[in-house]
Structure 1
Amino acid sequence: MNTMRVNIINPKAARLLKDLADMKLIEIQDIPSNGFRDVLQKLRSKASSAPTLEEITSEVELVRAKRYA
């Protein structure tokens, strides 16, 4: 069995895929939403501004220094 990810551009293609599933030729599985992405969007919506590249870099360096100290 091969697994593929398909981006549907035309709604007619979705209908064709559903017809193929009805004929038991393919199986369609819903992909659950990305929980991590949802959390990020929630956090970003509450933030007044995004951190700069320098702020991110300094935070990463701090964590690395603590980890490898």
Structure 2
Amino acid sequence: MAFCLLFLLFLTYCVFNFYVLIVCFFTAYGFLLVVFVVSYFLMFDFCFWCFKRSRIWVLISFGSN
């Protein structure tokens, strides 16, 4: 009986550790994904802002009017 309880405890410990490992992995992966998406969005936004301030954007906008 004690062996069965110890085995169940060990099994729970292994499964819980595996679950924690998976959660930590996906949390780190999700955090990196969010950081990359935000940085790319900010870079695109900054490039679009630079493009809007350039003379090419002025020529295109005046040419379309």
Structure with bigger RCO (C-alpha 8 Å, 6+ apart): 1
Aligning the two structures, in what range does the TM-score lie when normalised by the shorter sequence? under 0.3
Higher helix share: 2
TM-score after normalising by structure 1: 0.25
Of structures 1 and 2, the larger Rg is shown by 2
TM-score after normalising by structure 2: 0.26
